[in-house]
Amino acid sequence: MPTRTSLFLLFGLLIASPLTAQEPAPAKEPAKVQFEEAKKLLKETSPGVFDLNGIRITAATRELRIPCSILHQRLPIEYALCHEAGEKVHETILQTAVRPIEIQLALLLANYQPGTKGILDTLDPKEERPYPEKEETSPEKPGSNRLAIHCEWKEGDEVKRVPLSAFIQDSDTRKTPPDLDTWIFNGSRIDAEGFVAEITGSIISTYVDRLAIINSAARGNHRDELWISRPDNIPAEETKVTLIITPAK
């Protein structure tokens, strides 16, 4: 169980070396500045509960709660969540004002470890890999990159909570695949331009995007035309939604 002390020890390691599990190129000044800015926003609001620019982090359960809103109910999608100023907002269900670098930081603070292991486990060997095998990475602790993601919102006095996968369907079957309930925290990269997800705004991808922060592990995730929204399950556009991240079981 993470303690306040361990949380801040991890935080210190993160700022010193933000993505060591992925062996990125050395961080350039803009990314360092971004991480330092995010660090200053972290506040303890009650024992073991922290706020990072609107993200609530509960140390004991490793739960993250991220404020979002419904952007599109009905559309083909490649993303489940993007930053509101991101490049792919025309292909996402949810948007958020929280910066991608803050979401990556919150995941690391909650002791999730980045790694691409799991994203392509269901890929047919005959299919072309979305990224080279040499780029495959594993978290230091097996399984620590596997996430469960839910959405919560209010309808009148009632609180609704469903898996994020309930908003998404396979366009071939018009069903939600059962393996869409596990998501992979692969972590975005730092390159010569900075923290890449901060530039693109890509946070949670259904179609494999190595530069997004979180990816789907579902079969068929290599097909950009496969995924569409499931509008009957999605609240009205502009509805405020809390995205909830917990460890996958």
Residue spans of the domains in the chain: they are 4-123+143-247
Q: Across residues 61-86, what is the average pLDDT?
A: 98
pLDDT tens digits, one per residue of 206-239: 999 999 999 999 999 999 999 999 999 999 999 9
Q: What is the mean pLDDT of residues 81-105?
A: 97
* Whether residue 140 has pLDDT greater than 70: yes
In this predicted structure, the answer to whether residue 86 has a pLDDT above a threshold of 60 is yes
| Pairing verdict, β 194-195 and 55-58 | unpaired
| pLDDT tens readout for residues 186-203 | 999 988 888 999 999 999
**Choice between 3 and 228, residue whose per-residue pLDDT is larger:** 228
